[in-house]
Amino acid sequence: MKSASCSLILAAMVLLLTTSNGCKTYMHFKYGLTQPREETPAKLVSFLEKHHFPTENLYMFSDSLSYCQAIRNPVFIKNMLGHMIFDREGNLLQRDTTQCQWSGYDKIKSLSSDSTYEKCNGLRLDQVLAYIQPFGKNTTPGKVLTNSDFTVIVTWAKFIGSYNSRLFVLSDAVELNTTAQIRLIWLNVDMQESWKLKSEQKVAIK
C-alpha cells in the first residue's frame, strides 16, 4: 500500500477545512475537529448518537486496500467530505464547482427521474460499492439496495466533529424530495483499527 500517498491525500482533505494553526485551533474548539485516528464501528456509532446524526445506512471501506484505492481516484477525492449523486445507470452527476463542497441540499431536494443531468466521467457507482460494506447496529441492506432513481453517497469522518452536521442535513433534502426515489449511503472515511495498519502507515496531521 502506498501509505505516503494516502497520508498526503487525507492531509489535503483536512486542509480544505483548516488553512492555519489559528483556524485549526478555532475549528477544534468550535466543531471538535481532531487529528485523524483509527476508529471502530462502535466508536463511530457512539459519535453519531452523541450528536444525533443518522445511524442507519452506514457504510465503511472493507479494508485498507479498498480505502487507498478509492482515495487515489481523483474524482472521488475531489468529492471527499461532501456528497456524490449517481443516476439509475450508475453515472456520477456533475457537481456545481462554483459552490462549496457542502452545497447540494437544493439539488437533491429537486432531483427528478424525468430530468437530464450533466454526467461526470472517472467514477461510477459500482466502483464505489465494490470497496465498501455496511456497519452499525443494523447492517441489513434493506432499503439501501432498492432499485432507486438516484443514489446519494455522503462521505463523513469522525475527525471533523460536529462539522458533519453540514453533511447529515442532506437527509432532510432526501426526505423532502417527492419526485424521485433516492437511496442514501453514509460512507465513513476514517481509518479503522481492524485494518491493523503499521505505525508508518498511519496518518498523522500535525
CA distances from 66 to 57, 94, 146, 186 (A): 19, 24, 24, 17
Nearest to 150 by CA among 84, 102, 97, 70: 84
CA dihedral 71, 174, 164, 190 (to 10 degrees): -30
Instruction: Answer whether residue 150 is part of any domain.
Output: yes
Q: Is residue 72 part of a domain?
A: yes
Closest CA to 130 of 58, 63, 39, 84: 63
Q: What is the pLDDT of residues 155-170, one digit of tens each?
A: 999 988 888 998 999 9
Task: Give the pLDDT confidence score for residue 202 in this predicted structure.
Answer: 59
Cell of 106: 437544493
Q: Residue 40 corresponds to which cell in the numbers above?
A: 471502530
In angstroms, rounded to a whole number, what is the distance separating the alpha carbons of residues 55 and 73? 27
C-alpha cell at 163: 462539522
**204: in domain:** no
What is the spatial distance between Cα 61 and Cα 10, in angstroms, rounded to a whole number? Answer: 15
- pLDDT tens-digit map of 14-43: 444 444 344 343 334 344 456 778 899 999
- 59 phi, psi to nearest 5 deg: -135, 155
Instruction: Note the pLDDT of residue 160.
Output: 87
Q: How many domains, the chain? A: 1
Q: How confident is the model at residue 103 (pLDDT cuts 50, 70, 90)?
A: confident
- Averaged pLDDT of the chain: 80
For residue 81, give the 3-state DSSP assignment. Answer: coil
Task: Tell me whether residue 203 is in a domain.
Answer: no
Which alpha helices (H) appear in the chain, and where do they start and end?
3-17, 21-31, 41-50, 64-71, 74-78, 105-109, 125-129, 165-168, 170-176
Instruction: State CA 37 to chain mean position distance.
Output: 16
Contact 13, 156 (CB under 8 A): no
Is 206 inside a domain boundary?
no
Residue 202 lies in a domain: no
**What is the span of the domain harbouring residue 77?**
3-196
Residue 14 domain-assigned?
yes
Structure pTM?
0.80
| More confident position, 81 or 43 | 43
d(CA 166, CA 79): 14
